Structure formats: structure tokens, C-alpha cells
Chain A
Amino acid sequence: SQELEQSPQSLIVQEGKNLTINCTSSKTLYGLYWYKQKYGEGLIFLMMLQKGGEEKSHEKITAKLDEKKQQSSLHITASQPSHAGIYLCGAYPSRGRSNYQLIWGAGTKLIIKP
């Protein structure tokens, strides 16, 4: 079965610094989601990438999908305390059931030091 591995598992970054979180798949990626979670809250949608080479940005967050590497990266520029939380990636494991059963990485915990 396909697995998604996120790295690093946790990250402490000085406020204002840039950072990158990776999501690597054991099989071909067919679309990928990035979500952010704060403790005790639900998951907040960040971005959805559907095609190899696709890159999307929202405010200071940029996500890319590299199908050849079976990897997606999430990059935050000039980090702020509001970026702190757990970042989760989710992907469809196969085209056949691609609309129904997402699989998820274990998450990357991001702490921003003031």
C-alpha cells in the first residue's frame, strides 16, 4: 500500500526565517492536499495540487508537486507566529479510487520562536 512520509517530523524556526516541509510518497502521486491543524481545532485547507510541476502560492506559503520525485514541498517565507501548527499532506493512492480514499502523512509540527 502507498505511504506518505513527511519530513521533518518537527521543526523549530526563528520568526522571520524561511522553512520547507516535504511530503514524499512511496508510489506515484495523483493529486495532493496540504492542510494546517492547530491543537484542538479542525484542519484548515491550504492548497490542492493536481498536476505534476504545479505550484501554488497563498500569502507566504508556496507548495509544489514533483510527480517524478513523488514528492511535494511546502515552503514558508518569512515565518510568523501565526504559521505555527501541524502541517498535514494527503494524497490519492491510485487513479481507480482516486476520488474516495485519501491517505495522509503523520504531520510536521512547526514551532515559531519569537
Chain B
Amino acid sequence: NAGVTQTPKFQVLKTGQSMTLQCAQDMNHEYMSWYRQDPGMGLRLIHYSVGAGITDQGEVPNGYNVSRSTTEDFPLRLLSAAPSQTSVYFCASKSGHGELFFGEGSRLTVL
């Protein structure tokens, strides 16, 4: 079972560059989400989706875009990267029982 797969695991960007973090799950979960994790701050919700074609903002959505064209995929786009977006990003999906399944994380550095 692959579970939740995130790519890439590591990325270095220059300020102003764009990139997409990929997230895929093979458990047919309707709910998917993106978090960022910063030292001393815990996980903060960026965007989430309750099904294909439906997305909504979380706590810290600015600077990030998402789309959900299929149940399996939930990519996170940074349109113009800023140093403040240096963080570890986690994608998660949620089962019908309420358990969250997390990817292994993507470590992003913006110079």
C-alpha cells in the first residue's frame, strides 16, 4: 500500500520562482489537506478539499493555490516563492473513520 505519496522530498527555490508539490493517495479518501510545519509552531492548515472539484482555505492560504481534479491528487502550487515559505510541507488524507494519513513531507527552502 502506497498510502499518501508526496514529491519532491527536498527542493531549493530562489525567491520568485514557482513550483508544485505533488500529493497522491490511493485509499479513495474524499478529504485531503496540506499543512506546513515550522519550528515551535506545530502544523498549520494551508488548504483542504472535501472531494474532487471542491477546495477551501485553511489557516494560512496566502501564497498558495490548490486544485482537486481527481480524488487521488491534490497538488499545492507556489506561484512566486518567498523566503517566508521555507518550511516542511505535509499532505494528509482522511479516512471515513476520521484517521488522518500523512505523507512523509516535503522540505522546501526558498533563498
Question: Is the CB of B56 closer than 8 A to any CB of chain A?
Answer: yes
Instruction: Choose among B4, B42, B105 the residue that contacts A104 (Cβ–Cβ < 8 A).
Output: B42
Q: Is the CB–CB distance between B102 and A42 below 8 Å?
A: yes
Instruction: Choose among A4, A33, A103, A105 the residue that contacts B100 (Cβ–Cβ < 8 A).
Output: A33
Chain A residues within 8 Å of B41, by CB? 106
Q: Is the CB–CB distance between B42 and A4 below 8 Å?
A: yes
B46 to chain A, nearest CB (A): 11
Give the total number of A-B pairs whose CB atoms are below 8 A apart: 53
Interface residues on A, range: 20 to 34
Question: Is the CB of A21 closer than 8 A to any CB of chain B?
Answer: no
Question: Is the CB of A63 closer than 8 A to any CB of chain B?
Answer: no
CA distance A100 to B104 in the complex (A): 21
Instruction: Choose among B31, B45, B58, B90 the residue that contacts A43 (Cβ–Cβ < 8 A).
Output: B90
Instruction: Choose among A42, A45, A100 the residue that contacts B99 (Cβ–Cβ < 8 A).
Output: A45
Residue of chain A at shortest CB distance from B3: A42
Q: Is the CB–CB distance between A100 and B48 below 8 Å?
A: yes
Interface centre among B40, B92, B102 (most CB of A within 10 A): B102
- Number of residues from B at the complex interface, CB < 8 A: 24
Q: Is the CB–CB distance between A101 and B43 below 8 Å?
A: no
Instruction: Choose among B31, B35, B42, B59 the residue that contacts A107 (Cβ–Cβ < 8 A).
Output: B42
CA distance A48 to B41 in the complex (A): 21
Q: Is the CB–CB distance between A42 and B103 below 8 Å?
A: yes
Chain A residues within 8 Å of B45, by CB? 101-103
Q: Is the CB–CB distance between A101 and B48 below 8 Å?
A: yes
CA distance A50 to B35 in the complex (A): 22
Q: Is the CB–CB distance between A48 and B99 below 8 Å?
A: yes
A-B contact list, 10 entries, CB within 8 Å = A4-B42, A42-B90, A43-B90, A100-B31, A100-B50, A100-B56, A101-B45, A101-B58, A104-B35, A104-B42
Binding site for A on B (CB under 8 A): 4, 31, 35, 40-45, 48, 50, 56, 58-59, 90, 92, 98-105
